[in-house]
Amino acid sequence: MEGRILSGMRPTGPLHLGHLFGALDNWVKLQDKYDSFFMIADWHAMMSEYEDPSRLSRFTMECAADWLACGIDPEKSVIFVQSHVKEHLELYMAFSNFVPLGRLERCPTYKEQLREVTTRELHTYAFLGYPVLQAADILIYKADIVPVGKDQVPHIELTNDIGGKFNSLYGKAIFPSVKPLLTSIPKLLGIDGRKMSKSYDNFIALGDSEETIKKKCSGMFTDPERIKLTDKGHPEKCNVYAYYNLLKKDYAPEVYEYCASAKVGCTECKKKLGDIISDYLEGIRHKREALLKDEDKIRAILEKGAAKARKAASETMAEVKKAIGLV
């Protein structure tokens, strides 16, 4: 093994194609090379869903099922739920003592969320501390590498500041520095051409039925300059083409050609894409359905994962308490 990785997702909604191409495909490859920890960050989800957490447990089970269906293997990786390992919160507390308020208030993700999220009240104590808990998630396992999206890089920088500060305050080199690992896959836009997001409801979920996928594809935004069938299209400006490029790369040149020469219309092009996505997700869809019929099996996998995670986390926490001098 080349080192340890840790990553996580918040169970706030269904997983979709963005998660598959932006993270899961990569995690599946990484688990062969690294000692891997994958965490369902339910406490982080609570920071935004605290008013109505009723769907959290369902999303947690579905998230686990999606991961397993996509090929995260519990024999290779530790798959667990954040709230099952209480040491995360202990380390978060230890860090909270010295993290400067201003550093958190200036965090770009914090400022952006406060600006953009209007459906939830996020001016809370916990939400400000979001990246401190994330630092604890990472450092409690002494992860070397954290596979994340670009938006999360400030949180990794903060993690390194926090680990370094702890080491220097208490005179022990407990925490190593961590590196983000960014995926090279270009971001897929939502079916309406906007950023793919749960709040816009513009994604194709891994668990969507064939019928739903086809319906969503038929409503996708296309090249706005191609109005009539005889208008030549600009595939490089079309979101549908971007999906082809990612899902069926060897077929993309053909799409390019028929679009640019106005040989095939958008309706047909989108219909074909619906078939391709539906086929692409078929295996995942069946596996996740089978898993979700047997929730006890998912629970057992998560419990086993939590036991492994707890072992590593409690070792770090013992070192932390000793370094601080808690009796």
Residue 196: CB minimum distance to ligand SF4, A: 17
240-259 positions binding ligand SF4, by CB under 6 A: 240-241, 255, 259
Question: What count of Cα atoms within 13 Å lies in the side-chain half-sphere of residue 65?
Answer: 27
Query: Is residue 138 within the footprint of ligand TRP (CB under 6 A)?
Result: yes
Amino acid making up residue 103: R
Tokens of 250: 């060897």
Tokens of 185: 């896959």
CB atoms inside a 10 Å sphere around CB 106: 11
- Binding range to ligand TRP, per CB under 6 A, among 6-14, 95-103, 224-232, 238-246: 6-14
Please give the sequence-ordered ranges of beta strands (E in DSSP) within 82-167, or none if there are none.
145-148
Query: Is residue 12 within the footprint of ligand TRP (CB under 6 A)?
Result: no
Residue 285: CB minimum distance to ligand TRP, A: 24
Query: Is residue 87 within the footprint of ligand TRP (CB under 6 A)?
Result: no
Query: Is residue 222 within the footprint of ligand SF4 (CB under 6 A)?
Result: yes
Query: Is residue 41 within the footprint of ligand TRP (CB under 6 A)?
Result: yes
221 close to 191: Cβ distance less than 8 angstroms: yes
Q: How do strand 4-9 and strand 35-40 relate by DSSP bridges?
A: parallel
Q: At what angle do helices 87-96 and 130-139 cross, to 10 degrees?
A: 120
Tokens of 220: 């996708």
Residue 245: CB minimum distance to ligand TRP, A: 24
* Cα–Cα distance measured from residue 192 to residue 180, given in angstroms and rounded to the nearest whole number: 30
Tokens of 53: 């957490």
Amino acid making up residue 32: D
Question: What does 208 bind: ligand SF4, ligand TRP, none (CB cut-off 5 to 8 Å by kind)?
Answer: none
- Binding range to ligand SF4, per CB under 6 A, among 51-59, 112-120, 265-273, 285-293: 265-273
Q: Pick between residue 178 and residue 292 the one whose CB is nearest to ligand TRP.
A: 178
Q: Which residues of the shown chain bind ligand TRP in the complex (CB under 6 A)?
A: 6-10, 41, 44, 134, 137-138, 146, 148, 152
Q: Which residues of the shown chain bind ligand SF4 in the complex (CB under 6 A)?
A: 222-223, 226, 233, 235, 238, 240-241, 255, 259, 264, 266, 269-270
